[in-house]
Amino acid sequence: MIIFGTRRTVQQLAMVLLTCANCHRSAANAVLKLVTKFTLFFIPLFPVRVRYSTQCTACGFATTVDKAQAEQLAQLPPAGATPQYPPPQYPPQYPQQQYPGAHG
């Protein structure tokens, strides 16, 4: 008797801040890689299907994305990270001007 089947594994690639297409909230979204593998006697042997998706943490809505989009989303700064803005540019210090009639 041969026992075979499939097993799905889910790997979280990133957690990014996106606007959900379902609930329209700006919330953290998990970028996921779903791999389905063929198993023989409960041992995973080779991948049969690889899919990528994002899942909203606010409502649970999941959308399928292609590999290029998933890799691009994984490069975004993580959700909850403080944005890296350039340091503020302050105007140069001007020398204090002397006004006529002022004694100092």
pLDDT digits (tens, 9 = 90+) for 20-74: 989 988 899 999 999 999 999 999 999 999 999 999 999 999 999 999 999 999 9
Contacts of 12 (CB under 8 A, 6+ apart): 30, 31, 32, 33
Question: How distant is the alpha carbon of residue 27 from its chain centre?
Answer: 11
- 88 pLDDT tier (thresholds 50, 70, 90): very low
Best CA proximity match to 80, nearest among 24, 29, 25, 21: 29
CA 52 centroid distance within chain: 13
CB-based contacts of 63, cutoff 8 Å, min separation 6: 21, 53, 54
- Assessment of whether the complete model's pTM goes beyond 0.85: no
Quote the pLDDT of residue 66: 94
pLDDT of 99 reads 54
Amino acid (1-letter code) at residue 30: A
Spell out a b/e string for 14-52, using b for 16 or more CB atoms within 10 Å of the CB, else e: bbbebebeeeeeeebbbbbbeeebebeeeeeeeeeeeeb
79 pLDDT band, cuts 50/70/90, is: confident
Q: Is residue 92 scored above 80 in pLDDT? A: no
CB 20 within 8 A of CB 30: no
